[in-house]
């Protein structure tokens, strides 16, 4: 089913040219990503503030995609903006893949830690039969099959390593663990990074045959790319950031062709020098 998009067929040529030049440091201007939406009945655009985890299994992937059509067809993509579909199941959804309970309502989502194991007995790994992992893959694949020749199909919001761990362990417990059990947190950070990369590879295999790669933000790349983050680091020192977050970011950067970072507020400015030291991070 083709969409009636406000985006010329030749538009992907300029998107590919300009974004590729920007990644290479050869674009002699800033990227300008501008989307404008025609006035619509609010009910037809309600999906924009609805997390897809709010819909139960009785709603098929195809029915979910139908909800996006009014918004996609009402959007004008200008400058360096590009048509995209993002399956939004909530930030750090990888935690749900590993056993945390996902709680979703229309305009927000949060996680309840899965088990009460002590940190020494706790492990992070993908539950292959997990319903949220199956759901994300199903919706992503359905979008690729339906719109892959018109849209850039994005990754769901995988989250950052400590963000995921905070969902799995609880924020306060993880903060205490950084001080009381640093070696155990080292282990969990490594396990979380391996899980993140595992999920990325699967989703990349699903989305890499369409109109480029995108994610939860309006960031495009011709090949392997992602908008990395560590919102949890707002609460920790540069010393802890260097120990617990920087190795994870370095591993992700090595696995990606185009790695970008979402600096989530002024509380992350103390880590800026460490971030700038990563050669392959933009």
pLDDT of residue 209: 86
- In the predicted model, what is the mean pLDDT of the chain? 93
Tokens of 120: 């020494």
Tokens of 132: 């949220």
Q: Which one of 3-12, 54-63, 174-183 scores highest in mean pLDDT?
A: 174-183
1 is a domain residue: no
Q: Please give the torsion angle defined by the CA atoms of residues 23, 25, 27 and 29, in that order, rounded to the nearest 10 degrees.
A: 100
pLDDT of residue 228: 97
pLDDT in tens, 153-170: 999 999 999 999 999 999
- Average pLDDT, integer, range 1-25: 94
DSSP for 235-279, written as a single string: GS-HHHHHHHTHHHHHHHHHH-SEEEE---SGGGGGGHHHHHT-T
75 is a domain residue: yes
Of 2-16, 33-47, 85-99, the range with the lowest mean pLDDT is 33-47
User: What is the reported pTM?
Assistant: 0.95
pLDDT in tens, 229-241: 999 999 999 999 9
281 is a domain residue: no
72 is a domain residue: yes
Report whether pLDDT(27) > 90: yes
Report whether pLDDT(176) > 90: yes
DSSP for 91-155, written as a single string: TTTHHHHTTPEEEE-SS-EEEE------GGG------TT-HHHHHHHHHHHHHHHHHTTTSEEBP
CATH of the domain at 74: 3.20.20.210
Neighbours of 28 (CB within 10 A): 7
pLDDT of residue 105: 82
Structural domain range at position 223 = 11-276
pLDDT in tens, 187-206: 999 999 999 999 999 999 99
pLDDT of residue 159: 96
Of 65-69, 80-84, 227-231, the range with the lowest mean pLDDT is 65-69
pLDDT of residue 38: 87
User: What percentage of the chain carries pLDDT values higher than 70?
Assistant: 96
The residue with greater pLDDT, 44 or 242, is 242
4 is a domain residue: no
pLDDT of residue 222: 97
- Average pLDDT, integer, range 88-107: 92
Measured between alpha carbons, how far is 221 from 28 in angstroms, rounded to an integer?
18
pLDDT in tens, 43-59: 666 555 578 988 888 89
Domain count within the chain: 1
3 is a domain residue: no
- Average pLDDT, integer, range 73-99: 95
159 is a domain residue: yes
Report whether pLDDT(115) > 70: no
Q: Choose among 100, 252, 270: nearest CA to 168.
A: 100
Report whether pLDDT(82) > 70: yes
DSSP assigned state of 211: S
Residue 109's φ and ψ, nearest 5 degrees, are -150, 150
pLDDT of residue 226: 98
- Report the 3 state secondary structure along 28-67: CCCCCEEEEECCCCHHHHHHHHCCHHHCCCCCCHHHHHHH
> 108: pLDDT confidence band, cut at 50, 70 and 90?
confident
């Amino acid at each position: 089913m083709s969409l009636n998009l406000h985006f010329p067929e030749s538009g992907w040529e300029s998107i590919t040219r300009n974004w590729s030049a920007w990644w290479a440091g050869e674009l002699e201007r800033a990227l300008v990503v501008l989307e404008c939406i025609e006035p619509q009945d609010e009910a037809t655009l309600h999906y924009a503030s609805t997390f897809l985890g709010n819909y139960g299994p009785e709603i098929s992937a195809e029915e979910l995609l139908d909800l996006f059509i009014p918004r996609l067809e009402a959007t004008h993509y200008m400058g360096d903006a590009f048509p995209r579909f993002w399956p939004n199941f909530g930030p750090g959804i990888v935690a749900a893949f590993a056993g945390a309970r996902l709680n979703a309502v229309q305009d927000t989502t949060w996680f309840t830690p899965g088990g009460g194991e002590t940190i020494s007995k706790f492990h992070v790994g993908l539950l292959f039969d997990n319903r949220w992992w199956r759901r994300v893959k199903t919706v992503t694949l359905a979008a690729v099959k339906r719109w892959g020749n018109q849209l850039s199909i994005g990754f769901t919001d995988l989250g950052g390593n400590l963000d995921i761990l905070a969902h799995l362990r609880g924020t306060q417990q993880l903060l205490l663990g950084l001080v009381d059990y640093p070696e155990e947190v080292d282990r969990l950070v490594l396990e979380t990074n391996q899980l993140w990369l595992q999920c990325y590879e699967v989703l990349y295999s699903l989305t890499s045959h369409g109109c480029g790669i995108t994610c939860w933000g309006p960031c495009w790349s011709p090949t392997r790319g992602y908008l990395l983050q560590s919102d949890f680091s707002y609460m920790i020192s540069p010393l802890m950031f260097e120990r617990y977050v920087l190795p994870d970011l370095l591993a992700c950067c090595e696995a990606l062709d185009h790695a970008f970072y979402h600096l989530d507020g002024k509380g992350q400015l103390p880590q800026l020098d460490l971030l700038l030291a990563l050669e392959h991070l933009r």
